[in-house]
Amino acid sequence: LQSSLLTQPWASVCLGESAFLAKACFRDTGYILLISDLSSVWYENVDAEAVRQRSKELNKRLTVPVSSFLHYLHNLMCPLLAGQPGTATSFSCHRSADSLSLHVKSELSGLPFYWDFHCCPAPVEMVSCHLVRPLIQMSLVLQCQVQKLTSLLLQKDAEIEDYRESGAVLSRDRLRTEPFQEEMFQQNFMAE
């Protein structure tokens, strides 16, 4: 589950008045949920046996195989992570100093369905692996792209200037552009 979670993208989710980033991975053997408000990061990693126990406590009238239960949980979470939570499902959360609980209410086969995700603070290695390293890598990639685009713009300006010096004239004056000012661009980029 841990390695599968790495391939999942972060999604922006709203739970009541609170905004979070979250990602999850569900399998027949259990699930893992990672959720952050960018101040803290919480997670829950649950195996099939723990799902079976919790489902008995929360949904006494429902008797379904654990794999079906996990599949249903996956189907409830997918729309939330896609930014389109289902209207028949409600999500709420409760934060304390050392935990975050995500409460789910829905309906399964005409019966009420409840689930609680009990998340604890994520270990530093997990935060680094899933949040910090990918953000730093993405930042480096974007910086590299900005440098390449800056170089390309400077080359295009040199090419246009060469055409002008050779006597080329624009057929449409509205296409005229000002030369790229790298220093001004860098200042504006950093300010933004």
Residue 160 in tokens: 């246009």
User: Order of strands, edge to edge, in the sheet holding 30-36?
Assistant: 11-15, 18-27, 30-36, 41-47, 111-121, 99-108, 90-96
Tens-level pLDDT at each residue, the chain (192 residues): 777 888 899 999 988 788 999 999 999 899 999 999 989 999 999 999 999 999 888 988 878 888 888 998 998 898 888 887 667 788 889 988 889 999 999 888 788 889 999 999 999 999 999 989 999 999 999 999 999 999 999 999 999 989 889 998 888 888 888 888 888 888 888 888
Residue 34 in tokens: 């990672």
| Residue 11, beta-bridge partner list | 22
Query: What structural domains does the chain harbor?
Result: 1-122 (2.170.210.10), 136-191 (1.10.287.450)
